[in-house]
Structure 1
Amino acid sequence: MNELIDTVNTLPSPLMAPMAHGLGPVADDWEAAEVWLRAIASRGRRNSPETVATYRYHIAKLRWFCENVHGVPPSRWTVQDVEAFYGFLADLPDSALCAQDEVTGAYAGVDDEGYSPFRKQPSASSRSDIQRCIHAMFRVWREMGYIAINPMGLHGAGTTRKINANRAVVPDLYDLVLDTMEASEKATFAARQAYTRDRFIFIALRELGLRASELIKATMGAFHCLTDPKDGKTYWVMVVREETAKGRRERTIPVTKTVMAALGAYREAFGMDALPAPLETGALILSPRTDRGAIVIGGKPIRDVESRRFFQAWLPVTTRHGLYYIVKGRLTRTADALKQAGDVTGCAHLRQASPHWPRHTFAKSALLTGQDVRQVAALLGHRDLATTMVYTEQDALDLIRATNMATPGLLAEQVTVSPA
């Protein structure tokens, strides 16, 4: 009997056994986060690779905070840890910013000393995006039994990012950016290439309404011809592929003559034919720099830069940060010129602008010129018409019209004084 009791006492108690969870074998919280990200990526049309990449970038910010500042892994967080993270994001110390080359302005890579996923102080909307991402991860961890509580439960998922329709580049300033680029010194072959490329980038962003990620993930073959059976004419279009579009909403955008002319000049500067050939797979946005290991003869890479240029061994620009650096550089140069000219307002406007502002410029311009809101929504890739309607201020216009019908003459109007 005593032997039986001893045997029973040595059996593991369910309460003493390690807590089982549904994430499978994970070594730490960051492997647990990867399991969650892979699950998101597998949801087909609901999430694009760009969405998953953005979530992974937010997780990288969380990890940097935990490993370099806070010292507590997320699975052991309490409400106080969440508040510490929020405080860190709201007032990012200089030590948390990614190291940057003083000459070229390039940021340190992931494996370089001084790297951090933070390149600037996160805005309110960026902090909200990070908060929603981490809250979603905690919620899944709790549902799968990886953690017992969601430490962000009291804070919620954060507010939803709202479109600020006023974040658009004024048309006159947009033209000034192009004029400043044209007037800039282009003493070297690479500088002339950069000019044609950057001019194409600005025109494409403004006239096609693209997201930055959609432009840099595109290939040259995204531009192709489409014949309209009604008029028998063939037009150029750009296809934003499902795998690069937000929400996996593939769309085809009619291309303006201005965009095609800019694309042709850009391609010729890089040694290509002006018009893209069908099914070209090369990156759409290229760097004037060449890939030293791209062309190999006799088992050895070509060392001569001119030869690599001849073989069009250009390095691609494939990250949003790379595009951001290009666009902000051009905007800053124009802002500096405005400052010297005494235009403080225009200078401040351009310093605030980002690669996403031209998309707002496109949306507002299209709607103000009378294009149907459904067509504009299709061009922008909006799933919900309400998102597109933000650019029209339709709610306010409906209230104005209703008030005028009920009480004519009540509302204050802008009075235009005619010249004598």
Structure 2
Amino acid sequence: MPGTAPAGEDGPLTVLVRDYLQHMSVERGLAANTLAAYRRDLRRYEAFLGSRGVDDAARITRHDVSAFAQAVVSGEDGQSPLSPRSAARTVVAVRGLHRFWALEGITEGDPARDVHPPLAGRRLPKAIPVPEVVRILEAVDTGSPSGRRDRALLEFLYSTGARISEAVGLDVDDVSVHDASDGPAVVRLTGKGSKERLVPVGSYAARAVDAYLVQGRPGLAAKGSGSPALFLNMRGGRLSRQSAWTILKTAADRAGVTREVSPHTLRHSFATHLLEGGADVRVVQELLGHASVTTTQVYTLVTADTLREVYAAAHPRALA
């Protein structure tokens, strides 16, 4: 049967896809989460091609790629339909695969070159007002080692705009908490593509982290086997992203904040509040670790909306 490899053997497409993912991991330094998403997307692409009897990269046509791009949105390939945003990511993964094959001489041409992802509606970042952020931060009970950790984590996320994966991936040596006389505290964050950046840590977060390092972390570390992680779980190991999410959700519930919040909400709020305070968009880009300023400029739309609302409410001739 076309497209079917003997039992126990990988088909030719599977081998070529694995080589591409290895290239993306080693040569391009793709983050583990992004690599996992690419792997899922390309497995779906392989299955789609197999259903069409295509098991040779050289036989894939532009029509095959276009049909797949439509199938992931409609679910016609027998799998769950994807949102425009997720479908766009999937098509980008397929385009990257074919570009790699063409450059490596595996195929003579690139059948995906002119196939574009479906248009995704612009989704503006969700930020919460400063008073609500403060309520969430102050809702944490710091009477225990885990409480001091929770307060330090949330203060840190809002102070630095770090991704949750960056925060839980920190080791103690990555953060430097100085006295105010020595200048602001700094942290070395490792973002997408293993790119490092230095980000200042505000005084509130620096004090919270310092209190946790002195009065919280030693008690948690005593239960483990010497993990270098900055944020530890109750067993003395590295805190997980899921646990960090739960910490924020618990604090938001205690603070009476009913809107949906996530660790990324604090990152969005960090960026939006900086821009509203007059920060330059390129400075915010650097702090967030965005490769392109275009990504950061999405936040300027949020602040522009705020300006319009204030103008409409305050100017005597704003509305007829």
Q: TM-score, normalised by structure 1?
A: 0.55
**CA–CA separation in structure 1 for the residues paired with 2:68 and 2:298:** 37
Q: What is the count of residue pairs matched by the alignment?
A: 291
CA RMSD of aligned residues (A): 4.4
**CA–CA separation in structure 1 for the residues paired with 2:191 and 2:127:** 21
1:233 corresponds to 2:182: yes
State the match for 2:6 in structure 1: none
Alignment of 1:100-119 (within 5 A): none
Segments of 5+ residues of structure 2 without an aligned counterpart are: 1-9
Q: Is the 8 A contact 1:135 1:152 kept in 2?
A: yes
Segments of 5+ residues of structure 1 without an aligned counterpart are: 1-25, 94-120, 187-191, 275-279, 290-313, 339-345, 401-411
**CA–CA separation in structure 2 for the residues paired with 1:56 and 1:145:** 25
**CA–CA separation in structure 2 for the residues paired with 1:89 and 1:356:** 33
**Larger fraction in helix:** 2
Give, in angstroms, the shift of residue 161 of structure 1: 9.2
Q: 1:80 aligns with which of 41, 53, 67?
A: 67
1:327 corresponds to 2:274: no
What is the percent sequence identity of the aligned residues? Answer: 22
**CA–CA separation in structure 1 for the residues paired with 2:303 and 2:201:** 31
State the match for 1:59 in structure 2: 39
Q: Is the 8 A contact 1:180 1:334 kept in 2?
A: yes
**CA–CA separation in structure 1 for the residues paired with 2:304 and 2:279:** 19
Give, in angstroms, the shift of residue 209 of structure 1: 1.2
Q: Is the 8 A contact 2:163 2:264 kept in 1?
A: yes
State the match for 1:369 in structure 2: 277
State the match for 2:94 in structure 1: 134
Give, in angstroms, the shift of residue 206 of structure 1: 0.7
State the match for 2:233 in structure 1: 287
Alignment of 1:181-196 (within 5 A): 181-182=140-141, 192-196=144-148
SS in 2 for 1:414: helix
Give, in angstroms, the shift of residue 221 of structure 1: 0.7
Give, in angstroms, the shift of residue 84 of structure 1: 2.7
Write the letter of the residue equivalent to 1:375.
V
Write the letter of the residue equivalent to 1:59.
R
SS in 2 for 1:266: helix
Q: 2:202 aligns with which of 256, 268, 280?
A: 256
SS in 1 for 2:205: helix
**CA–CA separation in structure 2 for the residues paired with 1:39 and 1:65:** 18
State the match for 2:21 in structure 1: 37
Q: Is the 8 A contact 1:128 1:159 kept in 2?
A: yes
Report the CA distance shift for 1:330/1:248 in structure 2 as closer, same or farther (over 3 A). closer
Q: Is the 8 A contact 1:55 1:133 kept in 2?
A: no
Report the CA distance shift for 1:129/1:81 in structure 2 as closer, same or farther (over 3 A). closer
SS in 2 for 1:237: strand
Report the CA distance shift for 1:272/1:385 in structure 2 as closer, same or farther (over 3 A). same
